[in-house]
Structure formats: C-alpha cells, structure tokens
C-alpha cells in the first residue's frame, strides 16, 4: 500500500527533539528522511531512558522514538568538503529541516536563496528558539525557558508556589508538530505548481500560539476585563485533580447539570436538598463545599481511579484518570486499538514504541523501521552522490565523515 508521503525526500540537519520530531512525522508516513548527524551523533543519543539504565548511544529511548523510519549518515559541516557534500545533498532534496543557530546557514553557504536557485520548489524549515530575526534571535533557549517565555508555565502550578513546568519536552514537540504542518502546507503549494519556501519556525512563537487553556482565559478576559489566575488545589468542589486509592483522577462534576448523579454516586443524595444545590460551583458556601469534598475524598480513597472514571462517565460527567507511563503501556484501550508497536532494533533489540499518531482507512501505516545506528547509511549515500568507495577512507581520515 502506498504511503501518504511516499516519494518526498527529506534531509534532516536537526538534533534533540523539535526538528527530529518534525522529521519523524514525515518519515512515519512514507517520506524518505535522511538524518545528517555530527560525527559524535545527535546529542539525544546520550539521553535516557536506557534499557536497564545503562547508557548506550544506540539504546536511548528518546532517540529511538524520534528517529524511526529514517536513514543516518555522519558529516562534519565544519569541514569544507563536508559542506560541499551537504550542498549536494540539498540539491537532491524536496525538504530540508535544520535547527542551526541564526546566521549559520549563511556561514555554511547553505541559505535558502542560494539553495533554491535552480531548485525553486525546495522547502527549507529552520527551527530556532526565537526565530531568525528580532532582538532575541541570538538568545539560547532551553525547554523550561521556552515554556516560561512562551506562556504555558505562567498558568501551571499552585498560586502560592513558583509556576510549574509541563513535563518532558512539550515546547519542542509542539514546535516540531507546527513545523511538519508548515512543511505539508508548503508542499501542497509545490504539488499545485507553486514555489517552495523558507519556513522560519520559532519554538517561542509556537508556544505563544499553543492552543491550551489560555484560549478560554483570553476569551474571558476580553468580556470581563479580568485575567485568570492559578487556582489553589481543591479550590472548587468536585472539580480538578484529586487522589484516588491507586493514583489521581481529574473529574469535573461540581456545578454541572450532572451534579445530582455525582452526589448519588458518592453516596450523598441528601446534599441535593441543601440550599446551594443547583448553584454555580464558585457560589457554594464553605459548609456545603466541605460536605461535598469530605464525602468525595472518602469515596475516592476506596475506589480505583479507572473505576471512578467509569462510574462518573456513566452519568455524563467529564473526567479522566491521570495515567502513568506504566498505565499507558498496559492500557486496554490503547491495546485494543493497536497503539503500541514492537520494533526490533539491531543493537537495542525488540522494544515497544508508540506506533502511530492517527488511523487512515485507505493508507494503513506500514510496519516501522528502527531508528538507524549512527552513520549506518553514510557509504550508500556518498556512493549515490558519485563518490568512489576508495575515496571514503580519505574522508574518514580527514574527519569529514
């Protein structure tokens, strides 16, 4: 079965998370992605988790996940011949993804104007912390600083504590997703006979436009003139995160049209007779809120989280369990839909991976190929470019590959 992006050639000069995730989204659906790594490899090869907690550059869980279905070659772009090879590779590519600091493409003579001359349908996507222009363009940016400056950090955590970072690499994953969308939009134009483009993707700006709870807060501020603030834990009865006997749940029952069913479920139908019943949750008296919360917590301390969700969902109440990684791996819903895929890597061995992002009726996803060992395709790529195999030892000795 032909994959959706089959025939599109992508060159990836990107490391860590954002660029590789953009490349992965294209590779997993059929694009031919060549990952060009520095001689020491993508730094994410040194990032865990590792099987048995033993570091190994070919067994990084992060790298293995982000680089399925790609090829890998090594190339030293600090060497002139390395840059010559890179420019030749770009000449054969439909899409180039990079995460070089602003200005480095010019230094390497690989900027869009030069590379698209005679190659007008070329799409280049450059991912940087703050973009190619502006007063912050040369600032470095880590995951936590980009969440902070882009906005999400401000809205997370308890109000009496410092803001809380979202776990993992949320900002960079989102930037990778935004970049892949921009690439596909540009590619649609090329397929329709138009020209390519240079995509300037700032991780900071992807965060500033991230569709999260700020959409609701900004709408409320536009009408009321008041901005939302972080709420204290348990600040609203029967709403938000609460502990269950085996973890945490996030159920939104208070003040809803299904609140009567919730009171039945927790064994307090008598609270329907209270004068505050039927009011908005922020209008509950302290005494009513304490009655609700006490009974709710007692019920949760005797109820497994998935059971609590199933029972409240039967009443039409919005909510979900907070799932650990172990929960997700063993989740019967995920298992039933075939989310997990076992991929056998030549060095890391067989491991389970998140197998897809979506399901298509007429283009089922092909079985995934494992992330490539460092430089596994260097020889093949160079011989396809016309290099004689006899020349490769010289390139290795000179530190070009």
Q: What is the 3-state secondary structure (H, E, C) of the chain?
A: CCCCCCCCEEEEECCCCHHHHHHHHHHCCCCEEEEEECCCCCHHHHCCCCHHHCCCCCCCHHHHHHCCCEEEEECCCCCHHHHHHHHHHHHCCCEEEECCCCCHHHHCCCCHHHHHCCCCCCEEEEEECCCCCCCCCCCCCCHHHHHHHHCHHHHCCCCCCCCCCCCCCHHHHHHHHHHHHHHHHHHHHHHCCCCCEEEEEEHHHHHHCCCCCHHHHHHHHHHHCCCCCCCCCCCCCCEEEEEECCEEEEEECCCCCCHHHHHHHCCCHHHHHCCCCCCCHHHCCHHHHHHHHHHHHHHHCCCCHHHHHHHHHCCCCEEEEECCHHHHHHCHHHHHHCCEEEEEECCCEEEEEECCCCCCCCCCCCCCCCCCCCCCCHHHHHHHCCCCHHHHHHHHHCCCC
The predicted pLDDT at position 217 comes to 64
Q: Is there a domain that residue 377 lies in?
A: yes
CA nearest to 173, candidates 401, 354, 372, 346: 354
CATH number at residue 44: 3.40.50.10540
**Structural domains in the chain (count):** 2
Q: Is there a domain that residue 224 lies in?
A: no
Same domain flag for 285 and 144? no
Q: Is there a domain that residue 220 lies in?
A: no
Residues forming beta bridges with residue 344, ordered by sequence position = 350
CB 384 within 8 A of CB 37: no
The predicted pLDDT at position 355 comes to 73
Same domain flag for 195 and 47? yes
Phi, psi of 314 (to 5 degrees): -60, -25
Same domain flag for 90 and 205? yes
Q: Is there a domain that residue 125 lies in?
A: yes
Name the packing angle between helices 18-27 and 170-191 (round to 10°).
Answer: 50
Distance, in Å, from the CA atom of 125 to the CA atom of 6, rounded to the nearest integer, reads 19
Same domain flag for 134 and 181? yes
Last residue of a domain, one of 305, 327, 349: 327
The size of the chain, in residues, is 401
The predicted pLDDT at position 227 comes to 62
Asked if residue 365 has a cis previous peptide bond (ω within 30° of 0), the answer is: no
Domain that holds residue 32: 9-210+336-397
The predicted pLDDT at position 216 comes to 59
One pLDDT digit (tens) per residue for the chain, 401 residues: 688 999 999 999 999 999 999 999 999 999 999 999 999 999 999 999 999 999 999 999 999 999 999 999 999 999 999 999 999 999 999 999 999 999 999 999 999 999 999 999 999 999 999 999 999 999 999 999 888 887 777 777 777 788 888 888 999 999 999 999 999 999 999 999 999 999 999 999 998 776 555 555 666 666 777 666 666 656 688 888 999 999 999 999 987 889 999 999 999 999 999 999 998 888 899 999 999 999 999 999 999 999 999 999 999 999 999 999 899 989 988 898 888 999 999 999 999 998 777 888 888 778 999 999 999 999 999 999 999 999 899 999 999 99
Q: Is there a domain that residue 289 lies in?
A: yes
Same domain flag for 68 and 178? yes
Last residue of a domain, one of 327, 351, 368: 327
Digit-coded pLDDT (tens) for 339-385: 899 999 999 999 999 877 788 888 877 899 999 999 999 999 999 99
CATH number at residue 286: 3.30.1540.10
CB 171 within 8 A of CB 150: yes
Distance, in Å, from the CA atom of 238 to the CA atom of 290, rounded to the nearest integer, reads 10
Same domain flag for 310 and 176? no
Q: Is there a domain that residue 230 lies in?
A: no
């Amino acid at each position: 079965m032909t994959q959706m992006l089959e025939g599109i050639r992508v060159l990836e000069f990107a490391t860590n998370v954002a660029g590789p995730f953009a490349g992965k989204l294209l590779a997993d659906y059929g694009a031919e992605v060549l990952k060009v790594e520095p001689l020491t490899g993508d730094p994410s090869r040194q990032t865990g988790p590792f099987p048995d907690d033993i570091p190994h550059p070919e067994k990084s869980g992060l790298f293995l996940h982000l680089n399925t279905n790609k090829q890998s070659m090594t190339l030293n772009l600090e060497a002139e011949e390395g840059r010559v090879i890179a420019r030749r590779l770009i000449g054969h590519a439909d899409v180039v993804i990079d995460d070089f600091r602003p200005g480095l493409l010019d230094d390497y003579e690989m900027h869009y104007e030069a590379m698209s001359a005679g190659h007008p349908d070329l799409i280049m996507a450059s991912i940087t912390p703050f973009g190619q222009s502006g007063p912050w363009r040369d600032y470095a940016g880590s995951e936590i600083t980009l969440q902070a400056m882009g906005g999400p950090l401000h809205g997370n955590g308890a109000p009496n504590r410092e803001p809380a970072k979202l776990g993992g690499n949320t900002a960079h994953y989102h930037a990778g997703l935004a970049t892949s969308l921009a690439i596909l939009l540009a590619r649609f134009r090329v397929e329709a006979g138009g020209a390519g483009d240079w995509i300037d993707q700032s991780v900071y700006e992807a965060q500033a436009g991230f569709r999260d709870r700020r959409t609701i807060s900004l709408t409320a501020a536009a009408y009321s003139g008041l901005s939302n603030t972080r709420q204290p834990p348990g600040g609203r009865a029967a709403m938000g995160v609460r502990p269950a006997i085996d973890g945490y749940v996030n159920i939104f029952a208070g003040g809803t049209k299904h609140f009567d069913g919730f009171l039945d479920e927790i064994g307090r139908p008598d609270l329907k007779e209270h004068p505050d019943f039927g009011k908005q949750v922020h209008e509950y008296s302290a005494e009513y809120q304490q009655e609700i919360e006490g009974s709710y917590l007692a019920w949760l301390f005797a109820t497994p989280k998935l059971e609590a969700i199933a029972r409240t969902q039967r009443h039409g109440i919005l909510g979900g369990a907070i799932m650990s990684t172990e929960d997700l791996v063993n989740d019967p819903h995920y298992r039933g839909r075939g989310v997990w895929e076992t991929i056998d890597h030549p060095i890391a061995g067989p491991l389970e991976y998140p197998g897809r992002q979506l399901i298509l009726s007429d283009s089922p996803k092909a079985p995934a190929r494992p992330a490539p060992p460092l430089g596994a395709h260097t020889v093949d790529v160079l011989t396809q470019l016309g290099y004689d195999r006899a020349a490769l030892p010289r390139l290795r000795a000179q530190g070009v590959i």
